[in-house]
Structure 1
Amino acid sequence: MARLGALSQCTQAPNTSSFCSSAQGDCRSGRIGSCCRRIGSSCGRWLSVDELKLEQKLGDCGREERRSKSGGVHCSRVAAEAAEVVPWSEDLEERFGKSGGVKFVEVAGYRIVEMRLKEGSSARVLLQSALVSSYKSRMWHGGLEELLYTAVVPGEDELTTVGGVGLRVWEGEAGSELDFAPTECWDVEDVRSDPAQFVQVALSTTSKGRSAGAMLEFKYVLTLTKASLSCALVTTNVGDSAVSIHGSLETTVAVNFVDGVYALGLEGCKYLPTAPKPSPGALEKATKTENGLFSRLGWFSGGEGDTKRNDSTRTGNEMFVEEEMVRMKGGFVRLYPDASDCVSLLDRGKRRTINFNNTGFGDIRLSNPGEESGLEDWESFVCIELARSIQPVDLQPGQEWRAAQQLVNPSK
């Protein structure tokens, strides 16, 4: 069966090598990611980042200190206010804000880079974790739409932002995994922009590995255009010893209703239907188990129903997708170990398609937590993760690994 026209509009991710090579890291420690955490049912509501007031005006981020019987903190909804420029951002505004298209603000304790084009497309990036918390693009009907699902939930000690586009790099060995940890120190290395056409922001940081002498330098380049948002990662081994790493970009896409979402471009691809365990474990061969693969959305109970679908043929512990369009549903989890370089998500409810162009990642995971997660809004998003989670990337001192994801709005 011929593929639908949406796939014909897939394009390769832009080459950012010349831009990335000029960036230099200045960070000592921290953690990449924290884009998703397990959320208990004790949280009363997921709050949008834009629904939080500035921290200095709200105190403890607008939380009401009422506790449920289980000890969880319930969240009260608060109105959004315009972000104010704070002193830390004045230097960045002076260095990078003159060309236009970029603004540095702080909202509820989050340091944010705002990228905006003259025609209205925009993106927001949290410097604490390099999480892309918002991406708005102009659609076929002329209006702007938010393509990402992002929320703020109470963590162990503070509010945590989940969803969006989350970056994770980790070091894996038999029986254990270790996240590289740059969290609070992503530096803005450079900004290039022509607000009528594009805005490009380069972030960087460094992190130590588990073994002596292991150190990685990360350069993360985000490029906003009228039709796309590109996230390009360059990881360089700047230490004295070899290191094996895995990496992923997980995008939480806002949808009208999960049952109306279809994935295109996976025809004939093998997949594994079983969800991973929430706790990290040994990375094993994909044809045997998926337990070692990390799921930052630790809600998934498994895709047991997927093994009985009529659109698949079972071979051992792998499955083969025969249909051109893969319909998603609540509790859906599939890992495609060797997927296409371009996959599209068709949302019939919102009447839109998003293309995901993949460079440097070897596998794709599609998922939704389902009703059993206890999440109020589980029907309003799906997750697509581009990753190197099965086969590690081996880096000798001085070697680098490049990977990129491009979110394309084909209606432009």
Structure 2
Amino acid sequence: MAMATMASSPIFFSKSRSCSSTSYNKRVLPQRVAAVASIPFQQPINVDYLEQEFSGHGVIFKGIGDDCVAKMSLDNGSKAILMLQSGLIASYKASMWHGGTVELLQSSVSQEANAIQGGVSVALECLTLNLGEEQVSWSPSKWGLHNIIGNPQDSIQVELISTDSHDMVQVKYIVTLQDDALISQLMVSNNSDSSSLQLSGCILSHLTVSSPDATFAVGLERSDFFGRLPILTSSAIVPPEYGQKSESQFSQLWKQLAWGPRNGHQTETERQEEEEEEGEMEEGEEHDNYKNLREQMCRIYTSAPRDFTIIDRGRRNSVVIGRDGFEELYMFSPGSSHEYYGEYAYVCIGQSAVLNPIILGPKESWTGGQRLHNPNP
């Protein structure tokens, strides 16, 4: 499929008039609901207040400098750690058949940025489309705790709301911990009466493995794909060899590929460079239904199934990854040249809207999410 065809093809997205619960939930969440206490972005967060307001739901809070983490724990042993202000899920320990738990996410502390990288993160770009007016572009980056429901016997749901959203747009991020799954869900509502909204971005998950050499993606046979440079965000873990290009060059390329030209304007040089980069992109169809991820690779699959499996023979573990709302699957492997069980022993899976942004008309809503299912309890 040629790139020109891809760019002009219809944009696929799911719409709804209301922000309903994710279709991934296998059960109705318990009726015990905490009083909604929308906590605006503030430094530092009042941990004592959060403990008192949301006690009894299987969540404890711990302050880390000016930030705060929410530790979610179920009675079956499954646990998750959510950074409240950044929305990054730093840890997901899934309950296993042997009675213990296994960490499924790869995360690390960036000394330069003094922040957690890896885990599960959101990278979303919102662009208002006003005919005859200047376009406004912004990205949700700070989140406030809005609500918590559930209990440790069944499931726990933490709802965050963007605190830097424009008045005409509401962005919610919902993290649900179940006995055998971790669900990340974005819910975006365009409250404008006249303006459309364009959404681009992804939910990125760094899955820890023994080594990409022992890791396989199962179920992607006959899926079309485009080769890309790795998505570079503040939360992405990228091996040092990708630093041969400067961060500004990576960021510029990512914006061109993901968000498109800013405000619809490009210089002749920028347009020529983008055409050259697109001409060098790998394009093809996946022929292997049991694909080994030992080679360094970065792709966006445009026709992948809604569910597929990552198997790690070294850890004797597997994760079933499902998506909802997003039509694209992003996959990045740093390759197997790195140390086993080391910093770069991971594969990055993302549910994305990069090649085809999502368009929301006035008063329309969209829901998209990812489910990490643990089939090994």
TM-score, scaled to structure 1: 0.66
Identity %: 26
Alpha-carbon offset, residue 179 of structure 1:
4.5
1:162-311 alignment runs, 5 A limit: 162-171=117-126, 178-183=137-142, 186-208=143-165, 215-239=168-192, 241-275=195-229, 278-281=250-253, 292-293=257-258
Distance change (3 Å), C-alpha of 1:325 and 1:370: closer
Work out whether residues 232 and 405 of structure 1, in 8 Å CA contact, stay in contact via their aligned partners in 2.
yes
Structure 2 CA distance, aligned partners of 1:23 and 1:168?
A: 26
Alpha-carbon offset, residue 148 of structure 1:
0.4
1:50-199 alignment runs, 5 A limit: 88-97=46-55, 99-155=56-112, 158-171=113-126, 178-183=137-142, 186-199=143-156
Stretch of structure 1 that moved more, 333-342 or 364-373: 364-373
Work out whether residues 16 and 221 of structure 1, in 8 Å CA contact, stay in contact via their aligned partners in 2.
no
Aligned to 1:7: none
Q: Residue type matched to 2:300 in 1? A: L
Structure 2 CA distance, aligned partners of 1:160 and 1:332?
A: 26
Give deviations 1:101-160, integer Å, cap 9, x for gaps: 1111113443101100122211010012100001001112221111100111123xx402
Alpha-carbon offset, residue 207 of structure 1:
3.5
Q: Residue type matched to 1:347 in 2? A: D
Structure 2, unmatched stretches of 5+, are: 1-21, 129-134, 231-248, 260-280
Aligned to 1:357: 322
Give deviations 1:10-61, integer Å, cap 9, x for gaps: x9612899999x97967589xxxxxxxxxxxxxxxxxxxxxxxxxxxxxxxx
**SS at 2:46's partner residue?**
helix
Structure 2 CA distance, aligned partners of 1:390 and 1:163?
A: 23
Alpha-carbon offset, residue 206 of structure 1:
4.2
Give deviations 1:71-129, integer Å, cap 9, x for gaps: xxxxxxxxxxxxxxx971111111111x2311111134431011001222110100121
Give the ranges of 4+ consecutive aligned residues of structure 1 lying more than 6 Å apart after TM superposition. Answer: 15-20, 22-26, 371-374
Matched, 1:411 2:376: yes
Matched, 1:384 2:333: no
Distance change (3 Å), C-alpha of 1:239 and 1:165: same
- Which structure is higher in RCO with an 8 Å CA cutoff and minimum separation 6? 2
Work out whether residues 206 and 216 of structure 1, in 8 Å CA contact, stay in contact via their aligned partners in 2.
no
Work out whether residues 89 and 119 of structure 2, in 8 Å CA contact, stay in contact via their aligned partners in 1.
yes
Structure 1 CA distance, aligned partners of 2:360 and 2:38?
A: 18
Structure 2 CA distance, aligned partners of 1:16 and 1:331?
A: 39
Alpha-carbon offset, residue 238 of structure 1:
2.8
Aligned to 2:10: none
Distance change (3 Å), C-alpha of 1:292 and 1:218: same
Give deviations 1:265-310, integer Å, cap 9, x for gaps: 2111011234257223488xxxxxxx6138xxxxxxxxxxxxxxxx
Alpha-carbon offset, residue 187 of structure 1:
2.0
**SS at 2:47's partner residue?**
helix
Distance change (3 Å), C-alpha of 1:143 and 1:17: closer
Stretch of structure 1 that moved more, 394-403 or 349-358: 394-403
Structure 1, unmatched stretches of 5+, are: 1-10, 30-85, 284-290, 295-315
Aligned to 1:66: none
Aligned to 1:13: 24
Distance change (3 Å), C-alpha of 1:121 and 1:15: closer
Give deviations 1:324-382, integer Å, cap 9, x for gaps: 111102522121012110021101100011011110011111112348999x9454111
Q: Residue type matched to 1:229 in 2? A: L
Q: Residue type matched to 2:353 in 1? A: R
1:326-337 alignment runs, 5 A limit: 326-337=291-302
Q: Residue type matched to 1:345 in 2? A: I
Structure 2 CA distance, aligned partners of 1:352 and 1:177?
A: 44
